[in-house]
């Protein structure tokens, strides 16, 4: 076996990864369980002395392949709604990269003429909070801020800067949660809630009144005060990473 990045082994098209492992996409899987097991045995035998790991994406339509892989000491690593990723160590001390262990959330401090944009959720008994929610798969932070504020309040905003990063554990699905609080500038001002199933009320409130409201969480007040008093981290997608073929956002402290 050579060290080219793509190689055909049995029925599988294998792709070499930086951990000296090989990855098999679900499009390479055969049609039957019998073929899968025969080809998998061959693959393991061919690579056991030369590679560290074997990764296999098994789609939901081939879920009956999972017990076969499990029988051959493949373990669950991660999954999405239409596949599971399984991995087998070929060498005892081979490093397996950690699966995603956190969810991402974003919130927004939107202040216009000393009025703060706030929302009240239907499922929460707490007072008014800052608009925000989950960052969708492959979504940029600045895009998520704009989308969440629009959905929850109807207000169009533009990302300005990051003012706070919170880390909470445990959160949903026994994972950590990273919550990114941003400053955003309003481009419209009329409340028109789009996500009426989740949001009970949205409104502009006086900033000073919000900061003395006893029903507001101290955490929310601290974020608003930081947004007023600190400049935070601005988006600066300069030339440092323009050579990579990925979507990205870089944030650096705003110069005083």
Mark which of 35, 56, 89 sits at the end of a domain.
89
The verdict on 63 and 140 lying in the same domain is no
* Lookup: tokens for 9: 């082994």
The verdict on 71 and 120 lying in the same domain is no
The verdict on 64 and 185 lying in the same domain is no
Does residue 180 or residue 235 have the better pLDDT?
Answer: 180
Mark which of 43, 68, 89 sits at the end of a domain.
89
Whether 94 is covered by a domain: the verdict is: no
Binned at pLDDT 50, 70 and 90, residue 185 comes out as very high
Binned at pLDDT 50, 70 and 90, residue 77 comes out as very high
The verdict on 54 and 110 lying in the same domain is no
Average pLDDT of the chain to the nearest whole number: 93
The verdict on 80 and 194 lying in the same domain is no
CATH number of domain containing 51:
3.40.630.30
Does residue 144 or residue 137 have the better pLDDT?
Answer: 144
pLDDT of 2 > 50? The answer is: no
The verdict on 231 and 155 lying in the same domain is yes
Q: What is the pLDDT of residue 171?
A: 86
Task: Using the CB atoms, write b or e for 168-205: b if 16+ within 10 Å.
Answer: eeeeeeeeebbbbbbbbebeeeeeebebeeebeebebe
Whether 97 is covered by a domain: the verdict is: no
Mark which of 58, 89, 120 sits at the end of a domain.
89
The verdict on 146 and 69 lying in the same domain is no
pLDDT digits (tens, 9 = 90+) for 9-37: 999 999 998 889 999 999 999 999 999 99
On the question of a cis peptide bond just before residue 188, with omega within 30 degrees of 0, the verdict is no
Distance CA 40, CA 191 (A): 58
The verdict on 166 and 192 lying in the same domain is yes
pLDDT digits (tens, 9 = 90+) for 155-172: 999 999 999 999 999 988
Domain range spanning residue 146?
102-251
Whether 96 is covered by a domain: the verdict is: no
The model's pTM: 0.82
User: Could you give the number of structural domains in the chain?
Assistant: 2
Whether 60 is covered by a domain: the verdict is: yes
CATH number of domain containing 236:
3.90.79.10
Beta-carbon count within 10 A of 151 CB: 16
* Lookup: tokens for 238: 């300069």
Binned at pLDDT 50, 70 and 90, residue 53 comes out as very high
């Amino acid at each position: 076996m050579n060290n080219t990045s793509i190689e055909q082994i049995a029925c599988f098209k294998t792709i070499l990864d930086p951990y000296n492992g090989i990855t098999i996409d679900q499009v390479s899987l055969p049609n039957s369980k019998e073929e899968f097991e025969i080809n998998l045995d061959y693959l393991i035998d061919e690579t056991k002395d030369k590679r560290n790991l074997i990764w296999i994406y098994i789609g939901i339509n081939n879920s009956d392949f999972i017990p076969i892989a499990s029988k051959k000491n493949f373990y669950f690593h991660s999954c999405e709604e239409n596949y599971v990723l399984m991995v087998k160590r070929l060498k005892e001390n081979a490093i397996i990269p950690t699966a995603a262990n956190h969810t991402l959330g974003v919130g927004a401090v939107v202040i216009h003429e000393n009025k703060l944009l706030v929302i009240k959720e239907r499922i929460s008994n707490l007072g008014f909070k800052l608009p925000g929610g989950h960052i969708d798969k492959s979504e940029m932070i600045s895009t998520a801020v704009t989308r969440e504020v629009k959905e929850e309040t109807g207000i169009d905003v533009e990302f300005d800067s990051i003012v706070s990063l919170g880390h909470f554990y445990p959160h949903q699905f026994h994972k950590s949660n990273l919550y990114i609080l941003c400053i955003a500038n309003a481009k419209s001002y009329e409340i028109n809630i789009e996500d009426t199933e989740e949001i009970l009320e949205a409104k502009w409130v006086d900033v000073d009144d919000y900061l003395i409201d006893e029903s507001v969480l101290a955490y929310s007040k601290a974020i608003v005060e930081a947004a007023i008093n600190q400049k935070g981290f601005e988006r600066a997608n300069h030339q440092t990473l323009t050579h990579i073929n990925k979507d990205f956002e870089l944030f650096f402290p705003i110069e005083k």
